[in-house]
Amino acid sequence: MDDQRRRAADWFRTLRDRITESFEALEDRAPGEAPAGRFEVTPTARADDGGGGIMSVMRGGRVFEKVGVNWSEVHGTLAPRAQAAMAARGVPGMADDPRFWASGISLVAHMQNPHAPAVHMNTRMFWTPGAWWFGGGSDLNPCIEYADDTAHFHDTLRAACAPHDDGYYNRFKAWADEYFYIPHRGRARGVGGIFYDDLNTGDWEADFAFTQAVGAAFLPAFLPLAEARMTQPFTDADRDTQLIHRGLYAEYNLVYDRGTKFGLETGHNADAVLMSLPPLAKWV
């Protein structure tokens, strides 16, 4: 399992590098007098010497108002609350040995142009002495919705899932629809995507290959939408719509998101955990 954990962590790091390079290249292609955006890269570390990662954040670019692409590889002992949550999900061995290791990539992009959709993606591997599993997914969060954009995003994810299991797309799309729902608003935060967790079919290679496919599908699913919308004219009313919609994203991540809760409860860098929050939002 040590070799498998190393392979997974290295893949997530490679994917992080590929995405940050692609986003900076998109900034270079975007018209405008403002300088093209660049990522500020900051190492992160757990307070208990339990590993860390890389926080990469771009602010005020031509295309991206704020985007974070984080990679991490952490280990340690689960706090009692996190341990109880894992046990409630049926993770074996948690009562006897709360040690864990985890690695993954997490991305959230908030765009300058209200017509360009915000987006989230993460993939990860989690290990305890009693089990291992993969999780992740990607979902689109347009402030102003376009049916063609939604169709392209979902079609790309469907194509990524198909070679691995005929049922994965429908199963994980339904999971995303449920997971990214905001109960107190009675609505989803966006137009969905796919989400999965606790994926352990017993075949590590197959599950890793699927997780790689989900990560590799992100750029072809999202970049064409960002590039097509980044120069579209918009009004003050469009910007107002964008800021109000961002409030939904902030509410979801602070109240419901399991990854946010886990990161804070396990002592990871708080700025890295909360990089998903939009730079500006408003409530009516």
Question: Among candidates 68, 99, 86, which has minimal Cα distance to 273?
Answer: 68
CA dist 183 and 40 (Å) reads 35
Query: What residues have CB less than 8 Å from 163, skipping those under 6 apart?
Result: 213
DSSP state, residue 247:
H
**E strands in 117-256:** 118-128, 131-141, 181-182, 187-188, 192-199
Find the helix packing angle between 168-179 and 147-161, rounded to 10°.
130
The one catalytic residue among 110, 115, 120, 268: 120
Is 170 in a helix, a strand, or coil? helix
Half-sphere exposure of 255 (CA within 13 A, CB side): 14
115 among known catalytic residues: no
Catalytic residues: 120
